[in-house]
């Protein structure tokens, strides 16, 4: 099924909605500043907050999308929707080819957060895609009809630390 993305991305007055949920456009300066502020002030609690916020956001976002598109009802088509939605939102490219209901691996060759972090702060010593980890966890919970928090996503390799691509491992919590 083909989704008319521009049609789903609409303004009502000063607000912007994507498939019925309010969104905001922000650039890498703000997203990276927020991440740095949270990490430097709260350490692991800061990265966990980003992860959980992204997990909730993608869970609610994808749930809303699927309510609008009841014909997207197979796992394959839902994975495709998640991947396309990630790309449409300017978040990058995500490859769900090695994933199943009990977990697996996900590869992301490009992302907003990697591009933004490297442009703004340069190389990191440790993986830093907390947003993407949470986003993946929330999306998979919707796709495999599990509760929020069902999946744990870790980042094994990260382009922010100059790996070739970001590799995420998904397991059940």
Partner 1 sequence: MAIDTDKIVHAVMHGSRIREEKGIIPLFGVYLSMISVQYYNRISFGFEKKLGNDALAEKLLVAAGQECGYATFQGIRSSREWDEVVRPMIERIEDQIYCFVSIAIAFGWGDLTVHELVPKEKLVIRANASYEAKGYLDAYGKADSGKCYMLRGVAAAFMDLLYGDEYPDGCFQYTSIETHCQAKGDLHCEFVARKTAP
List of residues contacting partner 1 (CB under 8 A): 5-6, 9, 11, 13-16, 18, 21-31, 33-34, 37-38, 41-42, 45-46, 49-50, 52-54, 56-57, 60-61, 86-93, 109-112, 115-116, 119
Q: How far is the CB of 30 from partner 1 (least distance, A)?
A: 4
Which residues does residue 111 pair with via DSSP β-bridges, in sequence order?
Answer: 92
Between 65 and 151, CB nearer to partner 1: 65
- Dist CA 54 CA 126 (whole Å): 19
Q: Which of 94, 89, 130, 87 is nearest to 109 (CA)?
A: 94
Residue whose CB is less far from partner 1, 3 or 89: 89
Which residues, other chains included, contact 153 with Cβ-Cβ below 8 Å and sequence gap of 6+?
A: 51, 106, 133, 134, 136, 137, 140, 168, 169, 170
- Give whichever of 12 and 71 is closer to partner 1, judged by the CB atom: 12
CB of 76 to partner 1, least distance (A): 20
66: helix, coil or strand? helix
The CA distance from 17 to 22, in Å, is: 4
What is the SS3 assignment for 103? Answer: strand
Residue closer to partner 1 (CB basis): 123 or 172: 123
The residue among 77 and 83 lying less far from partner 1, judged by its C-beta, is: 83
Q: How far is the CB of 113 from partner 1 (least distance, A)?
A: 8
The radius of gyration of the chain from alpha carbons, rounded to an integer in Å, stands at 16
Shortest reach from residue 102's CB to partner 1, in Å? 27
Q: Nearest approach, Cβ of 88 to partner 1 (angstroms)?
A: 7
């Amino acid at each position: 099924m083909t989704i008319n993305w521009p049609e789903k991305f609409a303004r009502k007055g000063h607000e912007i909605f994507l498939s019925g949920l309010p969104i905001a456009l922000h650039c890498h300066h703000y997203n990276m500043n927020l991440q740095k502020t949270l990490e430097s002030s709260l350490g692991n609690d800061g990265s966990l907050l980003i992860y959980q916020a992204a997990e909730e956001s993608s869970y609610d976002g994808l749930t809303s999308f699927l309510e609008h598109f009841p014909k997207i009802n197979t796992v394959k088509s839902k994975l495709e929707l998640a991947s396309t939605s990630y790309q449409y939102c300017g978040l990058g490219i995500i490859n769900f080819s090695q994933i199943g209901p009990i977990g697996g691996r996900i590869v992301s060759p490009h992302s907003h957060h990697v591009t933004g972090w490297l442009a703004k702060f340069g190389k990191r010593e440790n993986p830093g895609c907390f947003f993407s980890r949470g986003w993946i966890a929330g999306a998979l919970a919707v796709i495999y009809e599990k509760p929020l928090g069902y999946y744990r996503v870790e980042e094994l390799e990260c382009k922010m630390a100059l790996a070739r691509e970001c590799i995420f491992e998904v397991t059940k919590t």
